[in-house]
Chains A and B, each alone.
Chain A
Amino acid sequence: MEKPILEVDNLRIRYGGASTEAVRGVSFTLGRERLGIVGESGSGKSTVGRALLRLLPGATITADKLRFGDLDLLTLSEREMLKVRGRRMSMILQDPKFSLNPIRRVGDQVAETYLRHFKCSKAEARDKALTMLEAVKIRDPKRVYDQYPHEISGGMGQRVMIAMMLLADPDLVIADEPTSALDVTVRLQVLNILDSLVRDRGIGLIMISHDLNLVRNFCDRVLIMYAGRVVETLAARDLDRAEHPYTRGLLAAQPRIGGGRAPLAVLDRQPEWLEEKA
């Protein structure tokens, strides 16, 4: 087996001032694959994603191992971390409306990634950004380059974000609910673009989502989190054969097109789920 991109062992995160840990002993490894992390709000899935980029000021992060390629993320200085963020590991956030700078042209924001991490002229960075905008299937990238975030739609904004995050050709992309702010019709387009780019470039992808359909369709492997723990790890295609009652409960609670009209199954939360080891 080739060397994993990311190795996480017994990751624990406690927010400043909190009495309990938000993430309690999460372990997984990631190769060049698409890994989904699902769970309800508050299960700690986004916290895991942010901890990998060390974007949790004030929180205490401990782990037996937190290796990214040849780097130890636990001991890296902030200065070294700046070289990792956006260059080797990047993050796509939920809502482009809030994650793009409203007063800068979108193209310049994309090009900035390149300017910051590579030695090059502004014109080169602009060319790179334009090529990337084309790769995320933006028609007429030259026009979009000079537009401001409020002038583009949500779906286009999210494609701009993808372009920005993939421009430096990172090893790992963390997508935190990349499409939950988008309409169904646009959602699939954006996911397909992200999917094909990640596959073509052999980038490792962590997809954080509450949407079981999404991870089923766009991931190879799925971690299911409950109350800061991983309760089950499954191949995405085996999601229907999940064994943990929590995963099964989540699947059953989902209304389905063409499903019956019987009352939906409701989760019967068991206290032992909090303590079980995956």
Chain B
Amino acid sequence: MSVSVETRDVSITFGAGPAAVRVLPSVSFSVAPGECFGLVGESGSGKSTVLRCISMLTDIWTGDILINGKSVREMPLIERCRTLQMVFQDPYGSLHPRQSVRTVLNEPLVIHRLGDREERMRKAITDVGLPVSFLDRFPHQLSGGQRQRVAIARALILEPSLLLLDEPTSALDVSVQAEILNLLQRLREERGFTYIMVTHDLAVVDHMCDRFAVMLHGEITEVLPREAIPVNGATHPYARELIGASLEYESAH
């Protein structure tokens, strides 16, 4: 099932009164069911923070985040985990070094009291293109690309509808990035996932996303369709600069 996501005036403020610091001034955007929505911007612009707000890993925000019209804040933990899952940037840091793939995949099933565990684990690991024998491996026995596949399998095992992807390929080589992007693309076609993807690479946005938001200092400057990238159809000066730099970088030869 595909879900829609809507964020309205999500902001984070530290302190109160005149000394208050707004680290995330106000973020609003909506994502259609089954859409792949990109978040781009320079480091420190708040892209990952937005994902952490949606997943409630950060819960000090104010405003509204609605998934299929239902507020994430009011969603019970169990339901939230079944609705959304996150894939992190660094596959070397996001898997427990002393847990086998089986342990990693089994834990959510136990917590959520799901049956057919062996069957579900086999399915998740095959879905991400790894052989079933990999269930008994440890992270140090896997390459970076394989680890990221395991991280995706971990996200898939609870059959969520929304995947939050935080730079899922920036720690990987281009050749491995291609495999992971193809995998994500295929899963979206098969299952109708909604993706929100943070990246700094506009070529990846162009390849994967339908629309994307350009962030600067915690604010969304502009939401653009992917078609705007090759022609640099942005109007905000920063968005223009970002797209311009990416185009120049890619084609200046």
Contacts and interface: CB of A to CB of B under 8 A. Distances in A.
A14 B121 CA distance: 40
A33 B66 CA distance: 56
B181 A249 contact: no
A67 interface: no
Interface in A163-193: 183-188
B174 A259 contact: no
Interface stretch (A78-86, A133-141, A262-270): A262-270
Nearest to B170: A180
A237 B229 CA distance: 25
A184 B202 contact: yes
Interface stretch (A68-76, A120-128, A250-258): A250-258
Contacts of A266: 175, 178-179, 182
Interface in B213-247: 229-230, 241-242, 245-247
Interface string B144-181: 10000000000000000000000000000111111101
A3 interface: no
Q: Is the interface of B mostly helix, strand, loop or mixed?
A: helix
A184 B203 CA distance: 12
Max count, chain A CB within 10 A of own CB: residue among B42, B43, B178, B241 = B178
Contact of B42 (A185, A188, A256): A185
B207 A249 contact: no
Interface residues of B, number: 35
Contacts of B144: 41
A249 B42 contact: no
Nearest to A260: B207
Interface in B174-206: 174-179, 181-182, 185-186, 200-204, 206
B181 to A, nearest CB: 6
B249 A184 contact: yes
Given A40-B173, A210-B173, A187 B207 contact: no
B174 A257 contact: no
Contacts of A261: 185, 207
A216 interface: yes
A217 B247 CA distance: 12
A40 B177 CA distance: 11
A264 B176 CA distance: 10
Given A41-B144, A185-B42, A267-B175, A255 B203 contact: yes
Contact of A213 (B177, B229, B250): B250
B203 A185 contact: no
B241 A185 contact: yes
B74 interface: no
A212 interface: yes
Interface in A234-259: 236-237, 249-250, 253-259
Interface in B36-72: 42-43
B20 interface: no
Contacts of B203: 254-257, 259
Contacts of B182: 263-264, 266
Contact of B175 (A184, A214, A249, A263): A249
A59 B249 CA distance: 37
Given A183-B200, A185-B241, A188-B245, A253 B250 contact: no
Given A250-B175, A259-B206, A266-B178, 13 more contacts: A184-B201, A184-B246, A187-B245, A188-B248, A253-B174, A254-B203, A255-B181, A255-B201, A256-B207, A257-B229, A263-B185, A263-B186, A267-B178
Interface of A: 40-41, 154, 183-188, 210, 212-214, 216-217, 236-237, 249-250, 253-259, 261, 263-267
28 contacts: A40-B174, A183-B42, A183-B200, A184-B249, A185-B242, A186-B42, A187-B245, A216-B253, A217-B253, A249-B175, A253-B177, A254-B178, A254-B203, A255-B206, A255-B208, A256-B250, A257-B229, A257-B246, A257-B251, A259-B203, A259-B206, A259-B207, A261-B185, A263-B182, A264-B181, A264-B182, A264-B207, A266-B178
